[in-house]
Amino acid sequence: MLSQRRKDMASQTEENYLKALYSLSVGKIEVNISELSAALNVSNPTVNSMVKNLKTKGLVKYEKYKPLSLTEKGRKAAALIVRKHRLTEMFLVEKMGFGWEEVHEIAEQLEHVNSSKLFDRMDELMDFPLVDPHGSPIPDRNGNISESAYEPLSKFSVGRKVKLAALGHSSTEFLKYLNSRELSLGTEIEIKSIEPYDGSMVLSYQNHASETFTKAVCESLLVERVG
Amino acid sequence: MLSQRRKDMASQTEENYLKALYSLSVGKIEVNISELSAALNVSNPTVNSMVKNLKTKGLVKYEKYKPLSLTEKGRKAAALIVRKHRLTEMFLVEKMGFGWEEVHEIAEQLEHVNSSKLFDRMDELMDFPLVDPHGSPIPDRNGNISESAYEPLSKFSVGRKVKLAALGHSSTEFLKYLNSRELSLGTEIEIKSIEPYDGSMVLSYQNHASETFTKAVCESLLVERVG
DNA sequence: CTAATATGTTAGAGTCTTCTAACAAATATT
DNA sequence: AATATTTGTTAGAAGACTCTAACATATTAG
Ligand SMILES: [Mn+2]
Ligand SMILES: [Mn+2]
Ligand SMILES: [Mn+2]
Ligand SMILES: [Mn+2]
């Protein structure tokens, strides 16, 4: 028997649109059709018609030629997908021994599995984690999320001691790069110097007395003050 | 970015057809279009066109009005899906604390996840189990499967001592029924008597001195001789 | 303000998966 | 063997998701 998705729930495709819209909405309310196209790697007309579809389902607010935004219903639906994604990533790292650079691809698929049982059990087995392996907060069962208030390392000045708490993005390449520098979440870091020319930072942490990171990298290292 | 399936692999729908065909093929080589329709809960013409599609992909052997069968390529593809299904079921039971009656629905979805990493890790974490929670054998990485030679309990006579090794089918209802009788895999059973009228059996096992099971149930209890 | 550019929409089409209605072949029954 | 029933096929259509080409609107730059 073909296990068919209930008709009242979003298809896998619709879920990916909602999630992309949700990610693009952090820090702003409205999103362009073109931003969505780029994020999802589909054409503009494809997004256009999907947006109309999502509008009829009450998941997005949209008027011709205007930018779009999620409705409350859409926001919650998206947050619940993000919840499944992040719980999965954390489970893969914590309970299955995967590296933080390996889990996104798998979570991208598992996030569409329809089974509260599965994800609630993951949650329970991990004792209800608050963040995923990249430091991003995990929405609760109701789709509520506590936005973290970490700041990019690039904002601080020489001498400051901080702790790496999260990442601005978590592409596989970036994560592998951090692995190669032995930099992981929770690491305490001191800013040794800042190059005025290009904003690159020389950092000291653990058994790395002096490692240089570009400004771009430092903007994606989200930290909290220490001491 | 929409995580799209590689074009050279079977779609989720195609995978479900292959798997159904595979299940229907146990003990016989050829399968009817109508059997497949019934198993997948789709119409006859739908199966007919999908079968043509699978034929062009070299996954099934088929001629108009003749019964169909999997090619070697199709057989292997199906076995690898079954592998993912059964590894998942075992992982859910062994590592996540699910009951054997809860895992099929979840595995039905996870079996379509494209990630050798995930399933090989499950395999490793469980130390390479040979069977799933219902006693069905798990195909290896090459799609090879060792058909188990267990016999239905209904074939034995009074006085025989056996051990429950597998199930002929594993519907949720059947599994819940067995739960209610506290009958699980590995349980040693003695046949106390057989009712000649309807073939029902009175069994003794663990702290159940005398439990009656219908012939239909006993045909689905696959056992091995003990002592 | 006008022209150039960027962004968004419509139209039309193709693939995949499914359906129902109508017809054809094979099998079973009398 | 003739008829009835079961099984399988064809035809035609629909919905979901995607594309490209052409056109429309909005924004940016001179
Ligand atoms: Mn991720
Ligand atoms: Mn996804
Ligand atoms: Mn199963
Ligand atoms: Mn399935």
Per-block average pLDDT, block size 10, for chain B (227 residues)?
A: 78 98 91 96 98 98 96 98 98 98 97 98 98 98 92 97 96 97 98 96 97 97 94
Percent of chain A with pLDDT over 90: 92
CATH number of the CATH domain containing B206: 2.30.30.90
Confidence of residue A104 (pLDDT cuts 50, 70, 90): very high
Q: Residue holding tokens 């195909």? A: B139
Residue B160 confidence (pLDDT) = 97
What average pLDDT score do residues A171-179 get? 97
b/e for B114-145, b at 16 or more Cβ within 10 A?
ebeebbebbbeeeeebebbbbbbbbbeeebeb
End residue of a domain, out of A70, A94, A111: A70
Cβ contacts of B14 within 8 Å, gap of 6 or more:
B50, B53, B54, B57, B59
**Range with lowest mean pLDDT among A28-37, A85-94, A95-104:** A28-37
Q: What's the structural domain count of chain A?
A: 2
Residue A2 has pLDDT above 70, yes or no: no
Residue A1 has pLDDT above 70, yes or no: no
In a domain, B193, yes or no: yes
Nearest ligand to residue B110 Cα: 4
* Tokens encoding B15: 């995978």
Range of the domain at B34: 12-70
The whole-angstrom distance between A213's CA and the closest CA on chain B is 28
In terms of phi and psi (left: phi > 0; alpha: psi -120 to 50; beta: otherwise), the region of A42 is beta
Looking only at the bridges linking them, the beta strands covering B208-213 and B188-194 are unpaired
Query: What is the secondary structure of B83-140 as a DSSP string?
Result: HHHHHHHHHHHHTT---TTTHHHHHHHHTT---HHHHHHHHHHTT--SB-TTSPBPP-
Residues contacting B186, CB < 8 A, separation 6+: B163, B164, B165
* Residue A3: both structure tokens together: 């296990």
pLDDT score of A29: 84
Secondary element (H or E) of residue A212 = strand A208-213
| B6 touches A: beta carbon within 8 Å | no
- Residue that terminates a domain, selected from B25, B51, B70: B70
Query: Does residue B165 lie in a domain region?
Result: yes
Residue B41 within a domain: yes
| Rounded average pLDDT over A161-180 | 97
- DSSP element (H, E) containing B61: strand B60-61
Question: Based on C-alpha coordinates, what's the Rg of chain B?
Answer: 20
Residues of B in contact with A110 (CB under 8 A): 110, 113
**Is residue A135 in some structural domain?**
no
pLDDT score for B148: 83
Instruction: Please identify, among B24, B53, B70, the residue that sits at the C-terminal boundary of a domain.
Output: B70
Query: Residue B132 domain-assigned?
Result: no
Interface test with A, best of B13, B84, B106, B127 (most A CBs within 10 A): B106
Q: Average pLDDT, stretch A66-77?
A: 97
Given a cut of 90, whether residue A31 has pLDDT beyond it is yes
Is residue A177 scored above 70 in pLDDT? yes
Q: From the Cβ of A9, is strand D under 7 Å away?
A: no
Residue A160 distance to chain B (closest CA, Å) = 37
User: What tens digit of pLDDT does each residue of A119-143 get?
Assistant: 999 999 999 999 999 999 999 999 9
Taking the centre of ligand 1 as the mean of its atom positions, its distance from the CA of residue B87, in whole angstroms, is 24
User: How high is the pLDDT of residue A227?
Assistant: 79
Q: Are the beta carbons of A3 and B98 separated by less than 8 Å?
A: no
Residues 14-73 of A with CB under 7 A from strand D: 14, 41-46, 49-50, 53, 65
A12 touches chain B (CB under 8 A): no
Cβ neighbours, 10 Å, residue B28: 9
Q: For all residues of chain A together, what is the average pLDDT?
A: 96
Q: What is the CATH number of the domain that holds A29?
A: 1.10.10.10
pLDDT of the residue at A5: 81
Q: Is residue A52 part of a domain?
A: yes
**B175 occurs within a structural domain:** yes
Asked whether residue B76 is domain-assigned, the answer is no
Q: Is A185 on the interface with B (CB under 8 A)?
A: no
Cβ contact, residue pair B96, A42, below 8 Å:
no
Dist. CA A195–CA A200, nearest whole Å: 5
What's residue B2's pLDDT? 67
**Cα separation, A43 vs A66, whole angstroms:** 18
